[in-house]
Amino acid sequence: MKAAVLREINAPLEIEDIQHSKPGPREVLVRTVAAGVCHSDLHFQNGSYPYPRPAVLGHESAGVVEAVGSDVTYVKPGDHVITCLSAFCGHCEHCLTGHMSLCQEPELQRGPTQGSRLSKGDESIWQFLNLSSFAEYMLVHEHAIAKIREDMPMDRAALIGCGVTTGVGAVIHTARVEPGATVAVIGCGGVGLSAINGAAIAGAGRIIAIDTVNSKLELARKFGATDVINAKEVDAIGELREMTGGGVHYSFEAIGLKATAEQAFKMLRRGGTATIIGMIPVGVNIEIHGPEFLMERKLQGSNMGSNRFRVDMPRFVDFYLAGKLHLDDMISGRIKLEDVNDAMEALKTGELARQVIMFE
């Protein structure tokens, strides 16, 4: 099968012919139909988050089940599925207390004696975040997929695999935004737009989108933003505080930068909560003025929207088909696997929401 392999940091992905092994007892072979090119992939390509190499990148995807292992009962060949990088074991403390997105049990990967899921001749290829979706097939643990209805378009389903679940989930699960609350979202890429959409679904009274690209701010209005701020043109914190009379109840940082994470905290009113969704690079520290905590302002993180993805993803599909999730406007372009490096380069400009690799 063809796959995009990361061999060197800050180097283009190489389109290569590699092999997948046969499904083990609890594994599922998925034929990839669509895979979003997410900014998180760029973090691993440029070394902001170290990862073993060679590896096949990609983690936001949807496809069709091709084959299943002997112990798999959840899906059968022909089923449509969305993948999720936060695979769960189902029996650790995190899973049993409803925090499946925090599960890190090693049984979700193959052991050292079981052989690699991906290879090229005698060379083992690392699987990326349980998935490796920049490939024509994915061999995954059965707990890394959610079965969905077949009338859902696969390119839009793929977006639910990461960006939508991360953004919407941060609003409804991690922060638990209440109806009528004021919300600010910094960064209007795929995750930020999903957070805006999630805030609208949650019933937020005012949703303020913040970015430096006017076209993305206009797009944010389609997703539910009631107000927009171009941080290149004005002091975003001052503008927001004036607009809201002192700050918002909830802020969300969807870029992954030290400066914007600190801004998210400074945008809060007393008792407010800032949630960091973006992937801040390894080694970067966030500085907060200590006395602010006396005003009961809170700073928290969110991993993959604190999801329960086998419940959430089918519901998000229903939301889309009912017109509540605006996924059509999120796709900037549909490309082939061979164009993946152009899509990765485009991520650096911050001007596009999502490009989606289509395999058929």
**Backbone φ and ψ of 139, nearest 5°:** -110, 110
> Cβ–Cβ contacts within 10 Å for residue 36, how many?
29
Q: Is the torsion defined by CA of 295, 171, 91, 62 positive or negative? A: negative
pLDDT digits (tens, 9 = 90+) for 20-35: 999 999 999 999 999 9
Can you tell me the distance from the alpha carbon of 148 to that of 120, in angstroms, rounded to the nearest whole number? 32
Q: Which helix (H) or strand (E) holds 312?
A: helix 309-321
Can you tell me the distance from the alpha carbon of 281 to that of 176, in angstroms, rounded to the nearest whole number? 26
User: Does 106 score more than 90 pLDDT?
Assistant: no
Q: Mean pLDDT, to the nearest integer, of 100-120?
A: 90
Residue 360's pLDDT is what? Answer: 78
Q: Pairing relation of β-strands 14-17 and 123-127?
A: unpaired
Can you tell me the distance from the alpha carbon of 340 to that of 92, in angstroms, rounded to the nearest whole number? 36
- Spatial CA neighbour of 5 closest among 145, 141, 161, 119: 119
User: Does 114 score more than 90 pLDDT?
Assistant: no
User: Does 137 score more than 90 pLDDT?
Assistant: yes
Q: Going from the N-terminus, what domains does the chain have, and what CATH number goes with each?
A: 2-161+306-358 (3.90.180.10), 166-303 (3.40.50.720)
Residue 335's pLDDT is what? Answer: 96
Assign 349 a pLDDT band (cuts: 50, 70, 90).
confident
Share above pLDDT 90 across residues of the chain, in percent, rounded to a whole number: 91
Task: Let me know: does 264 contact 253? Beta carbons within 8 Å.
Answer: yes
**Backbone φ and ψ of 289, nearest 5°:** -70, 115
Q: Mean pLDDT, to the nearest integer, of 164-183?
A: 98
pLDDT digits (tens, 9 = 90+) for 287-321: 999 999 999 999 999 999 999 999 999 999 999 99
Share above pLDDT 70 across residues of the chain, in percent, rounded to a whole number: 99
User: Does 351 score more than 90 pLDDT?
Assistant: no
Asked which of 30-34, 40-44, 55-59, 250-254 is least confident by mean pLDDT, the reply is: 40-44
Q: Which residues are catalytic?
A: 38, 40, 43, 59, 162
C-alpha distances out from residue 305 to 107, 166, 193, 325, Å: 23, 4, 14, 16
Which residue in the block uniquely carries the two structure tokens 């061979």? 338
For residue 12, give the 3-state DSSP assignment. coil
Assign 51 a pLDDT band (cuts: 50, 70, 90).
very high
Residue 139 half-sphere exposure toward CB, CA atoms < 13 A = 22
Assign 350 a pLDDT band (cuts: 50, 70, 90).
confident
pLDDT digits (tens, 9 = 90+) for 231-289: 999 999 999 999 999 999 999 999 999 999 999 999 999 999 999 999 998 999 999 99
Task: Let me know: does 277 contact 163? Beta carbons within 8 Å.
Answer: no
